[in-house]
Amino acid sequence: MTGQIISGMIDYFQGNKEDVAHFLKVYAYARAIGLLEGLDQESQETLEVAAIVHDIACPVCRKKYGSAAGHLQEQESEAVLRPFLARFQLPEAMVERVVRLVCRHHTYDNADGSDCQILLEADYLVNAHEMSQSRQAIESFREKVFRTQEGRKLLNSLYLNTGTEK
């Protein structure tokens, strides 16, 4: 299932290598964190689908607003996400959860479940690099947003030169 969705998203982004590389990295981090945190199979599968499609609204936002800011993505995601997901005949409950996750993947307070928390963390792990965030900004985001042990461990290892949980 995820292979078909990945292929669909690559086609959807029409050669935008940066968008493709971004969602593939987020997918890899989300998958790893979810597995290491011990998500149940249904939550893991839902998380992986959400990670693949989390930035589906970026092309629409860039065209409509000249920006793919997080709040704009959350606002525009559902309208493009539902028709995209319909091609894959996913269970309705999974579609609803994926829509929920994608439509709040830049809302950093009160994460709606472990899958939501992991998606936030995985996306930030990639964004911190792509946006060349300072050490201070990364430490601040870690303290305010990161909640999973494995997400914190990856963040520390990647950006703060420490494998400790802190």
Give the pair of three-digit tokens for residue 116.
Answer: 């939501």
- Rounded distance, CA 29 to CA 140, Å? 20
- Rounded distance, CA 21 to CA 122, Å? 13
Of 116, 110, 122, nearest to 150 by C-alpha is: 122
Q: What is the pLDDT of residues 102-112, one digit of tens each?
A: 999 988 888 88
Q: What is the pLDDT of residues 64-119, one digit of tens each?
A: 999 999 999 999 999 999 999 999 999 999 999 999 999 999 888 888 899 999 99
Q: What is the pLDDT of residues 33-43, one digit of tens each?
A: 999 999 999 99
Report the chain's mean pLDDT, rounded to a whole number.
Answer: 95
Q: What is the pLDDT of residues 116-135, one digit of tens each?
A: 999 999 999 999 999 999 99
Q: How far is CA 7 from the centre of its chain?
A: 17
87 near 38, Cβ under 8 Å? no
Of 68, 48, 49, 50, nearest to 58 by C-alpha is: 68
At 128 the pLDDT is 97
Residues with Cβ < 8 Å from 99, sequence gap 6 or more?
A: 77, 78, 81, 82, 85
At 161 the pLDDT is 82
